[in-house]
Each structure stands twice: as C-alpha cells, then as structure tokens.
Amino acid sequence: MTQTTGRFFDDVARLFTDAAGVADGARREAEAIMRAQIERLLRNMDVVSREEFEAVRQMALIAREENEKLEARIAALETRLSDAADPAKT
C-alpha cells in the first residue's frame, strides 16, 4: 500500500507540475497578446516613442543653451550701444 500511495502522490505531483507549466505558458501567451494590442493601440494614437521623445528633448536643451548665450550677447551689445550713444557716460 505504501508503494501505491507513493506512486499516487508522484502522479499528483507530476499533474500539478504539468498544470503549472501550462498555466505559465498561457500567462506568457496572454502577455504577448496584450503587449501587441497595446503597441497597436499606441501606434494608432500616434504616440511618440521614448527614443523620439529623448531626441527632441535633447534638441530642446541645446536650443535653450544657445538661446541663453544669444540673450547674453544681445544684452552686452545693447550695453555697448547705449554707452556709445550716450557720450556723457564716457
């Protein structure tokens, strides 16, 4: 009887192991389907990718730095111009 009981528990354990494998496979398949659906939805919504966003963000940072340099240059030129136009300051 012990041998029969042992075999029974082995069979039950094997059955649960197989069921867990099937469940894991179903989970992975469901994840793949959901991922594909979400990607399709985002493509249809015309949402930018992370790479595109980062590229534009970097361009904006560079433009901002150039803008700040130009503002400083304009301020310096305006100061020189006002000093040159006002002979009393010199």
- Token pair for residue 30? 């469901």
Task: Report the distance separating Cα 83 and Cα 72, nearest Å.
Answer: 17
Q: What is the DSSP letter of 89?
A: G
Task: Report the distance separating Cα 45 and Cα 15, nearest Å.
Answer: 45
For 38-85, the pLDDT digits (tens) are 989 988 888 888 999 999 999 999 999 999 999 999 999 999 999 988
For 12-37, the pLDDT digits (tens) are 888 888 888 888 889 999 999 999 99
Q: Which segments of the chain are extended strands (E)?
A: none
Residue with tokens 């992975």: 28
Contact 57, 49 (CB under 8 A): no
Q: What is the DSSP letter of 76?
A: H
Q: Domain ranges in the chain?
A: 1-47, 48-90
The phi and psi torsions of 53 (rounded to 5 degrees) equal: -60, -45
pTM of the model: 0.49
Residue 35 confidence (pLDDT)? 95
Residue with tokens 């970097």: 58
